[in-house]
Amino acid sequence: MASENIEDDKKSLPLPSADRTSYDGYNWRKYGQKQVKGSEYPRSYYKCTHPNCPVKKKVERSLDGQIAEIVYNGEQNHSKPQLPKRNASGRQGQGFVSDGTGLEINNPSLVNQVNDRNKGFEGRVEYQNEVGVGVQTTFSGQNVP
């Protein structure tokens, strides 16, 4: 594999997942695309498809098809969707109903900032990460004094 597959073949995914863009465990719906100044690449805007999910995601790609920058806005208020969960008939108890990733939902400062539309703050900045348990909270800028 030299370096192709940039915009072709989309029906040959041996993996059960990776249906949407950058599979990170959540479902995103693209709601816009704009070209920002200073960058030759267009920026894509995604929003969580869950109800009551004020989570937004900004994704910028490079010509190589690699993620140049991913900016997450806000936090998931609900757990991850049940993807590879096959429940045969006769299921009742749920011993593992909590988040499958262990993502914590307690960021008053972040929510406050986002809610107040604070400037000089970009919520969370994350780079290409793997799915499963790669959820680190990296804060950029300054926090409340």
Partner DNA sequence: ATCTTTTGACCTTCA
Partner DNA sequence: GTGAAGGTCAAAAGA
Residue 17 within binding range of DNA, rule CB under 7 A: no
Of residues 94 through 123, those in contact with DNA by CB under 7 A are: 117, 119
* Closer of 85 and 119 to DNA (Cβ): 119
Between the CA of residue 57 and those of 73, 104, 123, what are the distances in Å? 6, 18, 10
Q: Which of 5, 17, 18, 31 binds DNA (CB under 7 A)?
A: 31
Rounded to whole angstroms, how far apart are CA atoms 78 and 73?
Answer: 15
Q: Which of 29, 30, 32 is nearest to 50 (CA)?
A: 29
Question: Which tokens go with 145?
Answer: 């004094």
Residue 30 within binding range of DNA, rule CB under 7 A: yes
Chain residues binding DNA by CB under 7 A are: 20-21, 27-38, 43, 45, 47, 49, 56, 58, 117, 119
